[in-house]
Chain A
Amino acid sequence: MTSARNYYVVLFHSVTHAIKAEKVLKEAGVAAKAIPVPRHISSDCGVCLRCVGSQKEKIEQTLFEKVDFSRIAHL
């Protein structure tokens, strides 16, 4: 599937971290969708959060000191 949109994925140590981040982001009004970790990106756990490029910085700020994530990768 090709997409014109500029997507990033946030990778986590565990599913619990990913779901916690999803909740923290939702409460902060930041859109992110839980999806399976894409095969070409090495997996920490099976679930990651996908967001559009414009939200990347906001996500980093929101998760900072709230939920540990391993890294953010370009999709």
Chain B
Amino acid sequence: MDIIYFDNAATSWPKPDATLEAMNRYNEITGGSPGRSAHRLSIEAARIIFDTRESLVELFGITDSLRIVFTKNATEALNIAIFGLLKKGDHVITSGMEHNSVMRPLRAMEAGGIELSVIPCSERGEMDPQDIPPYIKKNTRAIFLTHASNVTGTIMPVAEVGKIAREKGIIFCVDAAQTAGAIPIDVEEMNIDLLAFTGHKSLLGPQGTGGLYIRKGLEKNIAPLCMGGTGSRSEWEEQPAFMPDKYESGTLNAIGIAGLGAGVRYILKEGIGEIRKKETALAGTFIDGIAAIDGIKLYGLDNAPGRTAVVSFNINGISPSEAALAFDEKFNIMERPGLHCAPLAHRTIGTFPGGTNRFSFGYFNRPDQIKTALEAIERIVTGL
């Protein structure tokens, strides 16, 4: 029996052939250290990395590809944004649906003297942007918001929050780990100042890739997390202050970035609207299907358009980990049980500490796999 992979919110699989081909090509014929050595293989490696920057800026509505910093994942990008930007005495606003890649650095900063307000969200994971203004104070420096919850898939009102932040002169940082490549993002329209993304989920690249978009001028206020060789200004013993080198010390994951570029170009070619349509249809079929099964509790919105293709649910009387084992062993379905690195989001939806089962669909899933999964759930519920 074929494996049914419903864990795309953790990492997407399979990847497009183009992603793997780009990585093979890099390995077989490019090889060089990007830009460091200036021989033709080194320059070709630098061109491949630059092409990935250009593809990303096209996807996110960014005008200048020098504004993209490559990191190993969204977590590193968020750490640069949080530890690089915030100072003792700053006040920061975030939501009750955040992932630990936002919460843990913010809690650490809180212990170090920043003030943190967590805006409560509804049991379905929704945030009302009008809840934000009452929290804004003179020292409010930044708002950190996930674009969509990795637990319920609930899409947050990023454009509305961006508008409020811009009007008040507050820096707006969006965690797009769950949405980059899955739903449209335009940093200008949404007034996003910092956009953290990961390469290995909906951007269809390999693990070990990600990045941070930094709005023009903001780099003056963000210290790098890591310093070292950049291939530029080699006569200096101080870190360069210009983009992107300020934040890109050490040899980049060029082979991974080659794959990421191919993944992003695949998305641009298929069209993000098409991808969204297909994934929403899969999630919709699944949501409708489990609504018809007794003994299933669905979390988040009861319609697919308000969410990414991520669906959390529980089966009456069966713990998520037990269910996950049955899905894997009996039905070849790969899913993710538990707390999904987001204890705060689970508290918000009332599933802490037990957690949920999470099915997350991707562009390469098919309707017949949803049907098989619904039959599997029915069999687990009835104990067959």
Contacts and interface: CB of A to CB of B under 8 A. Distances in A.
A20 B54 CA distance: 9
Interface string B34-73: 1111110011001101100110000000000110000000
Interface string A1-41: 00000000000011111111011000000000011110000
A34 B232 contact: no
Given A15-B46, A16-B50, A36-B39, A46 B235 contact: no
B233 interface: yes
Interface string A24-65: 000000000011110000111111000000000000000000
B49 to A, nearest CB: 8
A17 B64 CA distance: 11
B242 A14 contact: yes
A45 B47 CA distance: 15
Contacts, number: 72
B50 to A, nearest CB: 4
B354 interface: no
Contacts of B49: 16, 19
Interface string B208-240: 000000000000000000000011111100001
B245 interface: yes
B371 to A, nearest CB: 47
- Judged by DSSP, the binding face of A is mixed
A42 B231 contact: no
Contacts of B244: 14, 16
A15 B240 contact: no
A47 B44 CA distance: 12
A53 to B, nearest CB: 22
B253 to A, nearest CB: 15
Contacts of B35: 15-16, 18-19, 45-47
B232 A45 contact: yes
Contact of A14 (B38, B65, B245): B245
Contacts of B231: 14-15, 45-46
A36 B38 contact: yes
Q: Choose among A14, A20, A46 the residue with the greatest number of B CB atoms under 10 Å from its CB.
A: A14
A17 B43 contact: no
Given A13-B240, A14-B232, A19 B50 contact: yes
Nearest to A67: B66
Given A16-B66, A19-B46, A35 B38 contact: yes
Nearest to B48: A19
A75 to B, nearest CB: 15
B38 A42 contact: no
Contacts of B53: 16
A37 B38 contact: yes
Q: Choose among A17, A22, A43 the residue with the greatest number of B CB atoms under 10 Å from its CB.
A: A17
Nearest to B50: A19
B38 A43 contact: no
Contacts of B37: 36, 46
Nearest to A66: B64
A63 B285 CA distance: 52
Contacts of A47: 35, 38, 42-43, 46
List 9 tightest A-B contacts by C-beta distance, closest first.
A15-B35, A36-B38, A45-B232, A19-B50, A14-B232, A14-B245, A47-B38, A34-B43, A46-B38
Interface of A: 13-20, 22-23, 34-37, 42-47
22 contacts: A14-B232, A14-B240, A14-B242, A15-B36, A15-B231, A16-B46, A16-B65, A19-B35, A19-B46, A20-B50, A20-B66, A23-B47, A34-B38, A35-B38, A36-B39, A43-B235, A45-B231, A46-B35, A46-B232, A46-B234, A47-B35, A47-B42
Given A46-B35, A46-B36, 12 more contacts: A13-B233, A13-B245, A14-B231, A16-B46, A16-B49, A16-B65, A19-B43, A19-B47, A23-B47, A36-B37, A43-B235, A45-B231
